[in-house]
């Protein structure tokens, strides 16, 4: 979960672009409380790189916190996309 000023600033687009570049599968979506949820599957190295990018976000974002939970995938996700 990404917490802060992360909706309305191009954050989901930023995540999709970075995830594609890293070969990560999954999705990103806005949460009703103003946070952004990211579910990502990939190599540990790629996921750690994505986490570092999430902590920065796009230039208009103000990321306060990134809460990560590591676990085995419960479903196979192909590609990386925005969920609504």
Structurally, how many domains does the chain consist of? 1
**Among 12, 82, 83, 71, which residue's Cα sits nearest to residue 47?**
71
Domain, as residue range, for 78: 2-82
In a 3-state reduction of DSSP, which class is residue 57? coil
What is the block-wise mean pLDDT of the chain (84 residues), using blocks of 10 residues?
A: 97 98 98 97 97 97 97 90 94
- The catalytic residue among 18, 30, 33, 71 is 30
Instruction: Reply yes or no on whether 30 is catalytic.
Output: yes
Question: Which CATH number is 25's domain given?
Answer: 3.30.70.100
pLDDT for 63 equals 98
**Among 31, 40, 30, 37, which residue's Cα sits nearest to residue 80?**
40
Cα separation of the two ends of the chain: 16
Instruction: Reply yes or no on whether 33 is catalytic.
Output: no
pLDDT for 76 equals 85
pLDDT for 74 equals 87
Q: How far apart are CA 80 and CA 17, in angstroms?
A: 9
């Amino acid at each position: 979960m990404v917490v802060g000023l992360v909706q309305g600033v191009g954050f989901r687009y930023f995540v999709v672009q970075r995830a594609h570049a890293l070969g990560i599968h999954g999705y990103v979506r806005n949460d009703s409380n103003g946070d952004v949820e990211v579910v990502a599957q990939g190599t540990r190295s790629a996921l750690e790189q994505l986490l570092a990018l999430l902590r920065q976000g796009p230039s208009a974002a103000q990321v306060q916190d990134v809460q990560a939970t590591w676990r085995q995938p419960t479903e196979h996700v192909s590609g990386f996309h925005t969920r609504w």
